[in-house]
């Protein structure tokens, strides 16, 4: 399969694609330009918001119309209607050389988000869980570039990527408590295929992983470690992917221009653009977060006071 350009956003570091089924819109971020993008699938139009600090991920909230965004220093609730955000929680805010990276909500609506050093120093990253009561729990330490995170359909396993380790790690997952226990390496990525970055899961439980430096998205079986197929892209640095479209059978893919010199950009001019491809298998809906939902007293207090 080969992907086609959807939007010529020319992101320095495009990341975090999110499909919103209610509005038929695709969201993503350009981390290094501090931009949040929106593409209307039906109208084929795009726009973006310029924020005041790096924005690293965008996720849906149960409260309609609002989004959670990961930023340098923590997480915030973003309102597309006015382009404003309200701070939600600090995540290594006291460390100016650190920022959030990839993340996801589990089925209970808790946020899982990685942190990393902007200079990519190994061992400086962590994976956190932000509880619905806004309590922050460090789950894994001594990471380099925490990236893709998804859960098995039966919610008993968590799959997680630290890009420098070139593998997908499988953890036993307790859905009630959020406790995790390392079980095994589910997928090993050969160096010639680049480094694993963001990922998503299809309805058959297979992992679709963006390979940074690998010119594509690869579909892997996490139960056997077997490579099943590849979506080829005409750019090297592929960063993340998500299923969307009216039937959840379109794979949207973000890419990056960073680390490419002038000669490489002439060779790969579509670097940083967003791509899409029709797939034979459907994906799964993205979990929504409990923050900002009606009755969320802690969050509502933050919104009222404008903290």
Q: Residue count of the chain, please give it.
A: 307
User: With left for phi above 0 and alpha for psi between -120 and 50, is residue 68 left, alpha or beta?
Assistant: beta
Catalytic residue among 30, 102, 162, 197: 197
Ordered alpha helix ranges (H), the chain: 262-267, 297-305
CA-closest candidate to residue 170, choices 152, 179, 155, 158: 158
User: CB-hemisphere CA count at 13 Å for 147?
Assistant: 28
- The rounded distance, in Å, linking the Cα atoms of 285 and 218 is 20
- The rounded distance, in Å, linking the Cα atoms of 135 and 133 is 6
Sequence-distant (6+) residues with CB within 8 A of 84 are 78
Sequence-distant (6+) residues with CB within 8 A of 105 are 59, 60, 68, 111, 112, 286, 287, 288, 289
Q: What angle do CA 105, 189, 163 make, to 5 degrees?
A: 45
Q: Are 127 and 169 in contact (CB under 8 A)?
A: no
Q: Are 268 and 257 in contact (CB under 8 A)?
A: no
- Gap between the terminal Cα atoms of the chain: 47
To the query of whether residue 102 is one of the catalytic residues in this protein, the response is: no
Catalytic positions, written as ranges = 197
């Amino acid at each position: 399969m080969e992907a086609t350009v959807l939007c010529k956003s020319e992101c320095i570091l495009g990341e975090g694609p999110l499909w919103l089924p209610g509005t038929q819109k695709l969201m993503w971020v350009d981390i290094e330009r501090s931009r949040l993008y929106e593409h209307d699938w039906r109208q084929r139009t795009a726009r973006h918001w310029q924020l005041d600090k790096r924005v690293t991920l965008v996720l849906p909230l149960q409260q309609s119309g609002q989004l959670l965004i990961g930023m340098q220093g923590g997480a915030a609730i973003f309102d597309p209607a006015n382009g404003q955000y309200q701070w939600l929680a600090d995540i290594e805010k006291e460390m100016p050389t650190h920022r959030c990276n990839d993340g996801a909500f589990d089925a209970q609506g808790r946020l899982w988000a990685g942190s990393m050093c902007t200079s990519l120093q190994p061992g400086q990253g962590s994976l956190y869980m932000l509880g619905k009561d806004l309590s922050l729990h460090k789950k894994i330490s001594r990471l380099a570039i925490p990236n893709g995170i998804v859960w098995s359909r039966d919610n008993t396993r968590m799959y997680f990527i630290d890009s420098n380790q070139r593998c997908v790690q499988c953890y036993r997952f307790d859905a009630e408590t959020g406790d995790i226990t390392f079980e095994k390496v589910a997928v090993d990525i050969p160096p010639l295929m680049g480094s694993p970055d963001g990922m998503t899961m299809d309805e058959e439980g297979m992992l679709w992983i963006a390979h940074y430096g690998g010119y594509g998205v690869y579909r892997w079986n996490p139960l056997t470690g077997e490579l099943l197929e590849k979506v080829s892209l005409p750019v090297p640095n592929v960063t993340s992917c998500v299923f969307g479209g009216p039937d959840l059978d379109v794979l949207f893919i973000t890419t990056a221009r960073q680390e490419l010199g002038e000669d490489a950009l002439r060779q790969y001019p579509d670097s940083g653009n967003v791509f899409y491809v029709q797939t034979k298998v459907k994906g799964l809906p993205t979990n929504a977060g409990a923050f900002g939902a009606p009755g969320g007293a802690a969050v509502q207090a933050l919104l009222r006071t404008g903290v």
